[in-house]
A = this chain, B = another copy of it.
Amino acid sequence: MTLPELAVFDELLTYVRETSLLQTSADLLEWDERTGMPVQGGEYRARQVTLLRGMVHERRTSATLGQWLAQLQDAFAADESTSPRRSAIARMREDFERDCRLPRTLVESLATATVRGQQAWERARHEDDFSLFRAELTEILRLKREAALCLAKEGESLYDALLGEYEPGARVAELAPVFASLRQHLVELIGRIGVVPKHQAPKIECLRREYPVETQRSFSRLVAEAVGFDFRRGRLDETTHPFCTSLGPDDCRILTRYQSHWFPSGLFGTLHEAGHGIYEQGLPRAWYGCPPGTYASLGIHESQSRLWENLVGRSLGFWKYFFPLLEQSFPQSLGNVGCEQFHAAVNAVQPTLIRVEADEATYNLHILVRLEIEQELLSGELLVEDLPAAWNARYREVLGIEPSSDAAGVLQDVHWSAGLIGYFPTYTLGNIYAAQLFQAAERELGALEEMFSEGEFAPLLQWLRTHIHRHGRSYDAAELIARACGERPNSEPLVASLNARYGRIYSL
């Protein structure tokens, strides 16, 4: 790079970082909306978010930005190096082209519709009445369809265009066989588990005893801190549907929800979001707001959350370390339950209604239901008014159970109300990646569960920092996984991991 080019690069970075200041301000407006905004504040909040998102979009599609990027890409054309600068420019260029396909009015309409949508969803869920969310979801779908039409490249379906927002480069046609094969293995595994005699299966009654919420709060915080979430650079709050959001390089917010008579909800929600948060906190600070300081894809993001939630948090080693503290914290609740029994309980396999609380064997079936429904909604094959019935039918078919209410069915997830359509497959990708990463880390570090049983989570964290976090968005998901694990994304490690885990617990 010549000196004048370096000067352009600096100008570009300053500009991009300033955009990010606006972006994160809008993110705070949304975090606040979902944590404690007064109920009547919604309409004005929608206007605030809309204005900021519109301004961000204008900056992200400005002619000046386009010129800088063209200039710098030319400068790199001759250069064969793989510096972060080079990949930063390439990524920014992709983003710029993508953003330019979306008109500002559409971005603004989506901002308004999703703030309103989340409020309507929250009410509908609370009142257990899908009809209170119908109009807002219809509008969101209409706008997302419009966005998909703008974004779809040659050979991409509308669904691909939306999926690509979260998992760049992913295509339904390529995911389909992977997911189908995974489904087959899972159905087979669930079948084997289903015939295990009841007295040999884990008893989950101990998870339904009373766990005072105040104590759950301090226990969850302690666990999040122990696995590596940095509370000087983040915080843990409560909301209707757990999530994680970054409001700056040193301000990562994670949220969970506690149920006094269902222990897994609060703790595993915390661990899941802490996994997201640990990833955000491990991205290169100096590049915050630019591609090298940004997550690689949402599949990779979910791999981090699902890894800490399940491969760590549901391991026996983890509970060997934390169970004594659990006993101390909830002396009334555990009674005669021992560590192994408790560990088995948090791993019990049973088709249930709520995705975020599903065991690992049935979890991906919840995703498949959503993937199919989303595609039908987007194509117009399924109408919003028929959605609750279609949801229930699909659950009966795939999981063999039927939601007793909309709140426990079609209204359970926040995603659609937030405009996140095409997002769900990234959870299954996350599960696949997580198993690959865990296996690769173990190959290098030795038996991880033994470390967990000593309270040692730092080696795994460090491994993830080195192989995933520090690379930001410099590689796409498949390449990042290949570099970290020495193999392309594939579901074999996940299937092997589930077979091993449940084989032990259910004596299969």
Report the separation of the CA atoms of residues A41 and B25 in the bound assembly, to the nearest whole angstrom. Answer: 13
The reply to whether the CB of A153 lies closer than 8 angstroms to some CB of chain B is: no
Report the separation of the CA atoms of residues A252 and B45 in the bound assembly, to the nearest whole angstrom. Answer: 12
Residue numbers in B under 8 Å from A52 (CB-CB) = 22, 25
Residue numbers in B under 8 Å from A231 (CB-CB) = 38
Are A21 and B47 closer than 8 Å at their CB atoms? yes
- Which residue from B18, B26, B38, B233 sits with its C-beta under 8 Å from A40? B233
Are A39 and B248 closer than 8 Å at their CB atoms? no
Known: A44-B249, A248-B45, A251-B44. A235 touches B29 (CB 8 A): no
Q: Assembly of this chain: how many copies?
A: 2
Residue numbers in B under 8 Å from A198 (CB-CB) = none
Residue of B nearest to A43 (CB): B250
Using a CB-CB cutoff of 8 Å, which residues 14-47 of chain A contact chain B?
Answer: 18, 21-22, 24-26, 28-29, 32, 36-41, 43-45, 47
1/0 contact trace for A203-243 toward B, CB 8 Å?
A: 00000000000000000000000000001111101000000
CB distance from A444 to the nearest CB of B (A): 31
Known: A29-B28, A48-B25. A38 touches B233 (CB 8 A): yes
- Which residue from B32, B41, B234, B288 sits with its C-beta under 8 Å from A250? B41
Known: A28-B28, A29-B25. A48 touches B235 (CB 8 A): no
- Which residue from B45, B232, B288 sits with its C-beta under 8 Å from A39? B232
CB distance from A236 to the nearest CB of B (A): 10
Report the separation of the CA atoms of residues A41 and B28 in the bound assembly, to the nearest whole angstrom. Answer: 13
Residue of B nearest to A22 (CB): B51
Residue of B nearest to A52 (CB): B25
Report the separation of the CA atoms of residues A50 and B371 in the bound assembly, to the nearest whole angstrom. Answer: 43
Give the most central of A38, A52, A249, A250: most B CB within 10 Å: A38
Interface bracket on A: 35 or more
Known: A25-B29, A51-B21. A44 touches B250 (CB 8 A): yes
Is the contact region of chain A dominated by helix, strand, or loop, or is it mixed?
Answer: helix
Residue numbers in B under 8 Å from A43 (CB-CB) = 250
Residue of B nearest to A17 (CB): B47
Report the separation of the CA atoms of residues A29 and B232 in the bound assembly, to the nearest whole angstrom. Answer: 18
The reply to whether the CB of A124 lies closer than 8 angstroms to some CB of chain B is: no
CB distance from A134 to the nearest CB of B (A): 24
Residue numbers in B under 8 Å from A251 (CB-CB) = 37-38, 40-41, 44-45
Give the most central of A48, A231, A252: most B CB within 10 Å: A48
Report the separation of the CA atoms of residues A465 and B280 in the bound assembly, to the nearest whole angstrom. Answer: 48
Report the separation of the CA atoms of residues A41 and B245 in the bound assembly, to the nearest whole angstrom. Answer: 14
The reply to whether the CB of A247 lies closer than 8 angstroms to some CB of chain B is: yes
Residue numbers in B under 8 Å from A37 (CB-CB) = 235, 251
Known: A249-B44, A251-B45. A234 touches B25 (CB 8 A): no
User: Can you sample 16 A-B contacts with CB below 8 Å?
Assistant: A22-B51, A25-B25, A25-B29, A25-B48, A32-B32, A36-B235, A37-B251, A38-B251, A39-B232, A40-B232, A40-B250, A41-B233, A41-B247, A44-B248, A45-B248, A45-B251
Additional A-B contact list (10), CB under 8 Å, known A40-B250, A41-B233, A44-B248? A21-B44, A21-B47, A24-B48, A36-B235, A37-B235, A38-B234, A38-B251, A38-B252, A41-B251, A48-B248
